[in-house]
Amino acid sequence: MAFKEKVKELLEQGLAEYPSLFLIDLNINDANKIVITLDGDNGVQLQDCINISRAIDNNLDREEVDFALEVASAGVSLPLKLVRQYKKNIGRTLKIKTAAQTIEALLLEVSDEDITVEWSSREPKKVGKGKETVVHNEKIAYADIQEAIVIIIF
């Protein structure tokens, strides 16, 4: 079995033991540096990274193949990639970039095809002078989202 396939198999076995964790990215370069990015339904703790690291490291032979292993959680600045990530962030504010617009909106609902968001903006009144606050509620398909990042509000 090739090195990359062995790593993937060990990673899948490790994640099977911790069902609240899921894989965001797996990268293995030509120098056998393994970089794994995880996320979890309840976040990712340091112990989670240690557990997955051990599941891989303890089952590979460094005498056979020399490698470096890095297991990390998905940072807050990384864009959302998976439906599961959107689901865990319901109720949070996202910065969403599409071809038509960039908005900061509250994530209300998540389905397998799209998300529903709500935001307000100041727009000119339809009658008279001045502006009024208008609340927008929109469904956005995943295919239309170029980037979505969770906004941390203090």
Tell me how many helices (H) and strands (E) the chain has.
3, 8
Token representation of residue 61:
């032979």
pLDDT tens-place values along the chain, 154 residues long: 688 899 999 999 999 999 999 999 999 999 999 999 999 998 899 999 999 999 999 998 888 889 999 999 988 788 999 999 999 999 999 999 999 999 999 999 999 999 999 999 998 888 888 899 999 999 999 999 999 999 988 7
Token representation of residue 29:
């370069």
Same domain, yes or no: 63 and 87: no
- Reading phi first (left if > 0) and then psi (alpha if -120 to 50, else beta), residue 32 is in left
Q: Which of 73, 98, 126 is the last residue of a domain?
A: 73
Please indicate, yes or no, if residue 90 is contained in any of the structural domains.
Answer: yes
Same domain, yes or no: 64 and 90: no
Please indicate, yes or no, if residue 63 is contained in any of the structural domains.
Answer: yes
